[in-house]
Amino acid sequence: MKKRRVGILFGGKSGEHEVSLSSAMCVFEALDKSKFDVVMIGIDRNGRWVRPRLEWLLEHKDNPREMKLESLGSTLSFLPDQAQSPLVEAANRGESVGPLDVIFPILHGTNGEDGTVQGLLELAGVPYVGAGVLGSSVCMDKEMAKRVLRDAGLDVVPFQSVRRVDFEEEPKKILDSAAAQFGYPYFVKPANAGSSVGVHKVKSAPQARALFEDAFQYDTKVIVEKAVDARELEVSVLGNHRPEASIVGEIVPRHEFYTYEAKYLDPDGADLKIPAEDLSHEMQKQIREMAVKAFRVLECWGFARVDMFLDRRTGELFVNELNTIPGFTPISMYPKLWGATGIPYAQLLERLIELAIERGDERRKLKLSFEAPKK
């Protein structure tokens, strides 16, 4: 079979820059080089696209903080509509990166997982792994995602969205109404963020205002949500039109909730349980079905990790959020769940590449203009 040329797009102007570097290098190393030619395409913290030297990346792969993308390669320019060859090295007077069969974006959070990069790749006409513009941006916005899930009959934790302009005008009214609607504690979180940045558990009236103000630093809209005493369950979903769910995993944070510190700073911040224990067969089935349904209604493609809450008291199940580019190091939940379900890491990557190409072919065949039938 012909070798596929795969571009790995990584780094990014986002709070999760380093996580992306680690995931990207793991993906690079795991791809079978007899089947794939791999082109690394870095995005530095300023949003510049660069073509980093591979030796340099490999040398620093165990310490991504050292892997400063800024200084290590020629800048790439992007030319829309260059079918398959959209990237040129700007400094080298337009030398092309060459045709790419598929791009694997391993970018988390804003400017990567939110539909912006997906839009660029659509314009370029290159197939890419993961959700498209719509699914990516809807999943990024916690209010929009919850509205869609709710409309499809999937349970979400009761929530309200609040815009910063309204909060600034009448803070007391909004704080009183949040307390009246949800009682203490409740959660406030930026509508578009991730990694638990700006997420707070509001336990009493005196602290509420400052916590809202902090959440509003990250977005002009926040969501306020009832706090659930919940087990945090996660499922990996894989596929296009007929997606499948992995077995169920569980995150057990050792902090008050699954905070930024628990995710990234404290090496013992959380336990990953694969599989989640003490779930009846029936409950596992329900969770997996719910994950697949959420994936489909939110227009996901290829992969997504579906995060859910299981209320310890009532046994109710809620969809919390979908991550359309989940962490992808070998110790990340998404690939580990598939590993435990029977798809090893390297095979999973190949499947994702195939799915992206299938989806690209399907899209390419769609008619873009209407031709009236000849009379």
Ligand X SMILES: Nc1ncnc2c1ncn2[C@@H]1O[C@H](COP(=O)(O)OP(=O)(O)O)[C@@H](O)[C@H]1O
Binding site for ligand X (CB under 6 A): 157, 187, 189, 193-196, 199, 225-228, 230, 232, 253, 257-258, 307, 320-321
Distance CA 113, CA 334 (A): 15
Per-position b or e across 240-252, b if 16+ CB within 10 A of its CB: eeebebbbbbbbe
Nearer to ligand X, 101 or 250 (CB): 250
To ligand X, the closest distance from the beta carbon of 50 in angstroms equals 28
Nearer to ligand X, 59 or 271 (CB): 271
Nearer to ligand X, 5 or 255 (CB): 255
Instruction: Give the per-residue SS3 of 297-361.
Output: HCCCCEEEEEEEEEECCCCCEEEEEEECCCCCCCCCHHHHHHHHHCCCHHHHHHHHHHHHHHHHH
Compute CA distances 62 → 22, 55, 89, 355, whole Å: 8, 13, 28, 30
Q: Identify the CA nearest to 264 among candidates 168, 332, 365, 362.
A: 332
Nearer to ligand X, 118 or 324 (CB): 324
Nearer to ligand X, 49 or 334 (CB): 334
Distance CA 159, CA 317 (A): 15
To ligand X, the closest distance from the beta carbon of 375 in angstroms equals 55
Residue type for 353, please? I
To ligand X, the closest distance from the beta carbon of 329 in angstroms equals 17
The number of CA neighbours under 13 Å toward the Cβ of 29 is 15
To ligand X, the closest distance from the beta carbon of 182 in angstroms equals 9
Distance CA 52, CA 70 (A): 9
Nearer to ligand X, 20 or 87 (CB): 20
Q: Identify the CA nearest to 247 among candidates 279, 288, 301, 280.
A: 288
Q: Identify the CA nearest to 126 among candidates 101, 151, 96, 94.
A: 101
To ligand X, the closest distance from the beta carbon of 287 in angstroms equals 16
To ligand X, the closest distance from the beta carbon of 227 in angstroms equals 4
To ligand X, the closest distance from the beta carbon of 361 in angstroms equals 32
To ligand X, the closest distance from the beta carbon of 262 in angstroms equals 8
Q: Identify the CA nearest to 185 among candidates 157, 156, 205, 210.
A: 205
Nearer to ligand X, 125 or 185 (CB): 185
Q: Please give the residue whose beta carbon sits closest to ligand X in the complex.
A: 258
Residue type for 291, please? A
Nearer to ligand X, 25 or 308 (CB): 308
Joined tokens for residue 229: 């005493």
